[in-house]
Amino acid sequence: MRFLASPARATLIACAIGLGAVLSASPARAIGEEVTDVRIMGNSRTDESTVRSVAGVSIGDTLEADTLDTVRERLNTTGLFADVNVWWEQYKTGVRVNIAVKDKFPWAPVPTGSWSANNKSFGLLFVHGNLFGRGKQLLIGGRIATVDSGAALAYRDPSWFGTWIYWQIQGNVQRQNVPEYLPDDEGADLGPYRATLMTSYGIEPAVGIAWFRRVKTQVAWRVERFNVDKSYAPTDPNQMALAPDQQATQGATVAIGKGSVSFDLRAREFAVMTGTALGGSFDLGSPDFKGDLTFWRVGAGAEHGVKFFRSHNLIVSAGGTFGKNLPFWMENTAGGPNLRGYLFQQFRGDSQLQAHAEYHFPLFSISSLDFRALAFYDVQALWWRSLPPVGAGVYTPRDTPDQRTFLINDVNGYQQGFDPKRDIHQSIGGGLRFFLRSVAVPLIGFDAGWGIESRTWRFTLIVGA
């Protein structure tokens, strides 16, 4: 038997030791071992207990094949961190899980704005996403807009005393100038036939449980007062109030008991969303909740994201909302952001089905600024299941305390029932998005939509949230 020369033998021994070290550090060996320590690093703004609570891995757990990926996904999804790195190492009789995070700047004044054909707005939001270093959230903001100006204050505690229970409260004041268009696709060319000025103020406390962090059930009570100033014909340069029987609605106090459930299996890594979310809600307006009106609304929706080629993203969504005796300000609407290619709130109804598909892909990046593009398809079906019997006047009132009136006729007014040729609206187009990785929302978005039925281009520019 020949022996290796001393240098060759030393090299072979070193390689064997190195190979053994690599094998000892392989994930396969760690799977099934006990977690004997969890170390948090880099959390300069977020309390360590918050990081541990969100990560969801503790001493005594068993390291599974997907443990590290799950921890990384949970931390990225919170929106609190600009970077997350998770790995393991041998420690005592098991393994230590190391979690290194880089905090995002927790607060910022965020200018917001949008521009479209019939609704222009400018506002400012103050958002703090990590109050007290414990992930509590505060929002203060306001905007001035053509259709819906207002201000809002909201606070949210996503984990009450470290439990799965969360609570939130929000209040708002709003000044609206709501247009109504003829229901056909060419109605926008003639402009709105009626507009209504009104103000409102309200508050909504809510409490919920985030079961296993992914399933949320929530109940809320909302009370809001609406004061209607007047309805007028937009073609009237003096904007004189219409006759009392031609007003769109009367003011009222609306009180709503709300319930919702959601299954959110989505994960977000910077601008890419993957996974599925399902949700449903039921709203009941009733004098039992200290309001003036009786109505109901039920809705459900789903969204799914798929990642391709590391940073390409296909997002599809679908949903429906149905109501009975909905107040004027709560009716389903389509147009603008949810139906690009048409005017903001161009279509109205008590019944709505919708679907959307967007394909996002990267253009280029400059440092932490990502430039992305998208192609989209929107479709909405919006109609009235229930309208009052046609009256003798121009507008027909509904037999409810708010005295909602409708333009109902066989020529160009509202008609009861679903007609695919009349009630389905589609658009296609493309857009641009500009993301800053240290901020959880796009800085700028621009969409150009072609209304398939209206054969018109509409453009929307959105700045901030």
Q: What is the C-alpha to C-alpha distance for residues 50 and 45, in angstroms, rounded to an integer?
A: 11
Q: For residue 336, what is the DSSP state?
A: B
Q: Element (H or E) spanning 50, and its range?
A: helix 48-55
The pLDDT value recorded for residue 441 is 55
Give the position of tokens 């054909």. Answer: 117
Residue 17 confidence (pLDDT)? 38
Q: How far apart are the C-alpha atoms of 111 and 463, rounded to whole Å? A: 7
By C-alpha distance, which of 328, 334, 318 is closest to 423? 334
pLDDT computed for residue 185 by the predictor = 65
Neighbouring C-alpha atoms within 13 Å toward the C-beta of 237? 0
What pLDDT, on the 0 to 100 scale, is given for residue 29? 62
Confidence at residue 439, expressed as pLDDT on a 0 to 100 scale: 57
- Count the neighbouring beta carbons within 10 Å of the beta carbon of residue 440: 17
CA-to-CA dists, residue 422 to 40, 185, 212, 453, angstroms: 58, 8, 44, 10
Cα 193–194–195 angle (5° rounding)? 135
Strand pairing class (351-366; 347-349)? unpaired
Q: Letter for the amino acid at 295?
A: F
Q: How far is residue 402 from each of residues 83, 194, 328, 390, 399, measured CA to CA in Å?
A: 52, 17, 9, 18, 8
Instruction: Scan for tokens 């990926």, then name that residue.
Output: 69
User: Could you tell me the two tokens for 135?
Assistant: 């992930």
Q: In this predicted structure, what is the pLDDT of residue 23?
A: 38
Strand partners, 166: 208
Q: Which pLDDT score is estimated for 175?
A: 97
DSSP SS3 for 293: coil
Distance CA 75, CA 134 (A): 13
**Residue whose tokens read 């940073």:** 311
Which of 300, 399, 311, 299 has the alpha carbon at shortest distance from 359?
Answer: 311
pLDDT tens series, the chain, 465 aa? 343 444 444 444 444 434 344 334 444 567 888 899 999 988 877 778 778 878 888 888 888 888 888 888 778 767 678 788 999 898 888 899 999 988 776 677 778 889 988 999 999 988 887 777 777 889 999 999 999 999 999 999 887 877 789 999 999 999 999 999 988 766 677 889 999 999 999 999 999 998 877 899 999 999 999 999 999 999 999 999 999 999 999 999 999 999 999 999 988 777 889 999 999 999 999 999 999 999 999 999 999 999 999 889 999 999 999 999 999 999 999 998 999 999 999 999 999 999 999 999 999 988 878 899 999 999 999 999 999 988 777 899 999 999 999 998 767 788 999 999 999 999 999 999 988 765 545 678 999 999 999 899 999 999 875
Amino acid at 115: W
The two three-digit tokens of residue 307, written as one number: 């990642």
pLDDT of residue 442: 60
Element (H, E) at 22: helix 6-24
The DSSP letter of residue 398 is P
Q: Give the per-residue pLDDT at 437.
A: 67
Tell me the pairing of strands 35-41 and 94-103.
parallel
Task: Provide the CB-side half-sphere exposure for 210 (13 A, CA).
Answer: 16
Hey, which residues does 255 pair with through a beta bridge?
A: 223
Q: For position 428, what pLDDT does the model report? A: 98
Rg (CA), the chain: 28
Nearest Cα to Cα of residue 216 among 161, 271, 159, 169: 159
| Neighbour-count burial of 92, counting CB atoms closer than 10 A to its CB (0-12 exposed, 13-18 middle, 19+ buried) | exposed
Contact 356, 341 (CB under 8 A): no
Helix 48-55 × helix 67-77 angle, to 10°: 120
